[in-house]
Amino acid sequence: MDTLNYLPNVRHQYEHLPYPHRDTQDEARRLIRPTSERLCNLNHHCYRGRRNFDNFRALVAGAGTGDGTIYLALQLTRHPGARVVHLDLSEASIEIARQRAKVRGLTNIEWRHGSLLDLPTMGFEPFDYINCTGVLHHLADPDAGLRALKAVLHPGGALGLMVYGRHGRTAVYQMQELMRLINEGETGIEARVANVRAVLESLPATNWFRRSGNLTSDHERFGDAGIFDLFLHEQDRAYTVSETYAFLERNGLALLDYAWARERVMLEPETWIRKVPALLEKMQKLPLPERRAAVELLCGTLTRQHVYAAPEADRKALIGDLDNIPFLVDFPDPDTHRALADHLLRNPGKNVNINAADCSFPFTPGRYTASIFSHLDGNATLGEVFARIRGKGKNTPTDRELLDDWRPVYERFALADAMLLRHRSVPATVEVLHGDRLPAKLPRPAKPKPPAKAKAAKSAKPAKAAKPAKPAKPAKPAKPAKPAKPAKPKPPARPARPTKPKPKKKS
Ligand SMILES: C[S@@+](CC[C@H](N)C(=O)[O-])C[C@H]1O[C@@H](n2cnc3c(N)ncnc32)[C@H](O)[C@@H]1O
């Protein structure tokens, strides 16, 4: 450690209770895939779809026990010269992450012990991407932390951050206050954790944490480490949506988008407002940050905020660029696109539900939606698809007409990260699944693309974030939206029973 540029109590906690709790041997049984760290998501949201990940330089700052590091490094083994730096101030956490990497035979990770506040003087070349999840809100001065990250970020690079959501954690902060009173004078970690357990067993039904149901579940998933992190942390603050926007802006960064589809969908008014169209319309007219701030207050369930940020705002791949290739993320093969097209052709004029990001919402097919899906294959650009449609039919719609027709459908899929874009100039990134555990020693060379059907079957199992309406089973087609309620989406959870976080990940 170069300096004492960290909070001693915070280090003490993470040396004794590395977080999130991970059994290194589990690495042989499962792969944790934080979707915000999936290369195709990063490419779409942060690099205009034009990023070739060869020689990519990623930093995971406050990397803990290695979830982000392992997933990034595993994907990047397919990209020559690409490397990940794992930085943390807890040596115990680094050791767990190192063991996990060893089980997978990963050799593209550099391990660094230190404080992210010292990054500007640690001698690193600028990074293309910096992941920093669940860390900045544990610093005495989160702005100083963000500035330190920005100082080592390449101007064309991007950040993936997670800070706590203030309103969603209201009950957590009441519990923290309660535990400070009960643990007055108590210094031992074990004794304080035992007191939390006693309190949890004794919570009356009126208690706000108990009422909040499964909104936060770290204490159930990560044992003592989860209990300490949730209820006993000595340095813990949270941000509202507006505060997150302001936090980034005053440090010269733009919020590109929410990085977890589930949170993005959660912050859409129509996820919750079903009965009063006039209210929905009013909220939809608000500028995006205000709209999201209003929905955050409306639903009360935003406990974490995973966001992408960058020095400039226009980093998303755009559907208006006809050199971009649209693809269904979890089912990128041509068969799935065609199955969806077939379903649309068999059910003309009917709305279709998309089940993705923990919720189900309808899209209204346009005149050309079925044709467009029938020509999408994960490799064709939108311009090529439009040209094929023109070549086939009697009428010859212009690119503009086709784009206007396609845009609302695409935006439905894109909201949930069910469909993403990549530019034609870069190869498709290869999805990494658990079976891709690398043998010890050498990273495996690029995997040949499996036949379409086999890949669809393989993708279908672990897919969590995006699932187009049963497209893989054309015989049992996607459930059309009920005609009586064509435009009413189903919220991910009723306000009284908020959804359990999924994909399952720690903070
Ligand atoms: C809640 S854990 C999150 C771990 C990891 N980012 C994840 O999402 O799985 C916070 C981590 O940040 C580390 N940390 C806290 N302050 C830090 C600092 N100033 N510099 C580097 N790491 C820090 C802790 O040691 C701990 O491992």
Nearest atom in ligand 1 to 145's CA: 19
Looking at residues 395-419, what average pLDDT do you find? Answer: 93
pLDDT of residue 325 exceeding 70, the answer is yes
pLDDT value of position 4? 54
Strand partners of residue 133:
162
Euclidean distance between the first and the last CA atom of the chain, given in angstroms as a whole number:
25
Class for the domain spanning 8-166+238-310: alpha beta
* pLDDT above 50 for 212: yes
- Ligand 1: which atom is nearest the Cα of residue 162? 8
Mean pLDDT, to the nearest integer, of 415-422?
94
- Strands (DSSP E) contained in 48-169 are 57-61, 83-88, 109-113, 127-133, 153-164
| C-alpha to C-alpha distances, 70 to 59, 88, 110, 265, nearest whole angstrom | 12, 14, 12, 27
pLDDT score recorded for residue 242: 98
Distance 80 CA to ligand 1 centre (A): 28
Q: Report, as an integer, the average pLDDT of 42-67.
A: 98
Q: How far, in Å, is the centroid of ligand 1 from the Cα of 89?
A: 7
Structure tokens at 37: 């760290």
Q: Token pair for residue 315?
A: 């980093």
Does residue 461 have a pLDDT over 70?
no
- The confidence score (pLDDT) of residue 452 equals 40
Q: Work out which ligand 1 atom sits closest to the CA atom of 19.
A: 2
pLDDT over 50 (residue 294): yes
pLDDT band at 72 (very low <50, low <70, confident <90, very high): very high
Single-letter code of the amino acid located at 126: P
For residues 491 and 501, what is the distance between their CA atoms, to the nearest angstrom? 14
Q: How far is the CA of 165 from the centre of ligand 1 (A)?
A: 17
The confidence score (pLDDT) of residue 464 equals 35
pLDDT at 495: 35
For residue 251, the tally of other CB atoms under 10 A from its CB is: 17
**Helices H, strands E: what count in the chain?**
20, 12
Which strands make up the sheet holding 57-61, listed edge to edge? Answer: 109-113, 83-88, 57-61, 127-133, 153-164, 304-310, 254-258
Tell me how far apart the alpha carbons of residues 208 and 320 are, in angstroms, rounded to a whole number.
47
More confident residue, 495 or 203: 203
What pLDDT digit, counting tens, does each position of 231-250 carry?
999 899 999 999 999 999 99
**Looking at the DSSP assignment, which residues form a beta bridge with residue 257?**
308
When pLDDT is cut at 50, 70 and 90, the band that residue 350 belongs to is confident
Who wins on pLDDT, 173 or 453?
A: 173
The residue to mutate among 3, 14, 115, having the most atoms of ligand 1 within 8 angstroms of its beta carbon, is 14
Residues with Cβ within 6 A of ligand 1? Answer: 6, 10, 14, 19-20, 62-64, 67-68, 87-90, 93, 115-117, 133-135, 138-139, 229, 506-507
Q: Could you identify the atom of ligand 1 that is nearest to the CA of residue 229? A: 1
Query: What confidence score (pLDDT) does residue 505 get?
Result: 42
Return the minimum-mean-pLDDT range out of 12-16, 58-62, 474-478.
474-478
Residue nearest to atom 12 of ligand 1 (CA): 62
142 C-alpha to ligand 1 centroid (Å):
13
CB 331 within 8 A of CB 471: yes
Query: Tens digits of per-residue pLDDT, 250-281?
Result: 999 999 999 999 999 999 999 999 899 999 99
For 156-182, how does the pLDDT look when each residue is reduced to its tens digit (9 = 90+)? 999 999 999 999 999 999 999 999 999
pLDDT at residue 349, as a whole number: 80
Torsion from C-alpha of 56, 57, 62, 65, nearest 10 degrees: 60
Confidence of residue 319 (pLDDT cuts 50, 70, 90): very high
Domain boundaries, the chain: 8-166+238-310, 168-232, 318-427+451-493
CA-to-CA dists, residue 285 to 243, 279, 291, 292, 408, angstroms: 21, 10, 8, 11, 17
From ligand 1's centre to the CA of 60, what distance in Å? 9
What is the tens place of the pLDDT at every residue in 111-139?
999 999 999 999 999 999 999 999 999 99
SS3 readout for 290-333: HHHHHHHHHHCCCCEEEEEEECCCCCCCCCCCCCEEEEECCCCC
pLDDT score of 444: 40
Lowest mean pLDDT among 147-156, 291-300, 330-339: 330-339
Alpha-carbon separation of residue 31 from 24, 95, 225, 358, 466 (angstroms): 11, 18, 21, 20, 18
- Residue 57 — pLDDT band, cuts 50, 70, 90? very high
CA distance 178 to 182: 6
Q: What is the pTM of this model?
A: 0.85
pLDDT at position 490 is: 42
The proportion of the chain whose per-residue pLDDT surpasses 70, expressed as a percent, equals: 84
CA 91 from centre of chain: 27
pLDDT at 10: 86
Q: Which of 88, 96, 130 to mutate for ligand 1's pocket (most ligand atoms within 8 Å of CB)? A: 88
CA of 64 to the centre of ligand 1 (A): 5
Q: How far away, in angstroms, is 321 Cα from ligand 1 center?
A: 39
Residue 489 above 70 pLDDT?
Answer: no
Residue nearest (by alpha carbon) to ligand 1 atom 10? 135
Which residue in 129, 470, 130 sits closest to 330, CA to CA?
470
Backbone angles phi, psi at 4, to 5 degrees: -100, 40
Query: Which one has a higher pLDDT value, 197 or 496?
Result: 197
Mean confidence (pLDDT) of the chain = 85
pLDDT above 70: residue 498: no
Ligand 1 pocket test, candidate residues 59, 135, 172, 237, most atoms within 8 A of CB: 135
pLDDT tens by residue, 13-33: 899 999 999 999 899 889 999
Across residues 421-432, what is the average pLDDT? Answer: 90
- Looking at residue 478, its pLDDT comes to 34
pLDDT confidence of residue 336: 80
Within 10 angstroms of residue 349's Cβ, the number of other Cβ atoms is 8
CA gap 446, 107 in Å, rounded: 15
Q: How far is CA 33 from CA 12, 51, 305, 408, 418, in A?
A: 28, 20, 17, 29, 16
User: What is the mean predicted confidence (pLDDT) over 309-332?
Assistant: 94
Q: Provide the pLDDT for residue 469.
A: 38
Identity at 267, one-letter amino acid code: L
Q: Whose CA is nearest to atom 13 of ligand 1?
A: 62
CA distance 237 to 145: 14
**DSSP class of residue 121?**
G
In ligand 1, the atom with minimum distance to the C-alpha of 131 is 6
Residue 339 has pLDDT above 90, yes or no: no
Show the DSSP H helices in 334-473 as ranges: 334-346, 369-375, 382-392, 399-415, 452-460
Q: How confident is the model at residue 434 (pLDDT cuts 50, 70, 90)?
A: low
pLDDT of residue 473: 34
Q: Which residues contact 468 (CB under 8 A, 6 or more apart)?
A: 328, 331, 336, 340, 354, 355, 356, 413, 418, 478
Q: Flag whether pLDDT at 466 surpasses 90.
A: no
pLDDT-derived band at 436 (thresholds 50, 70, 90) equals low
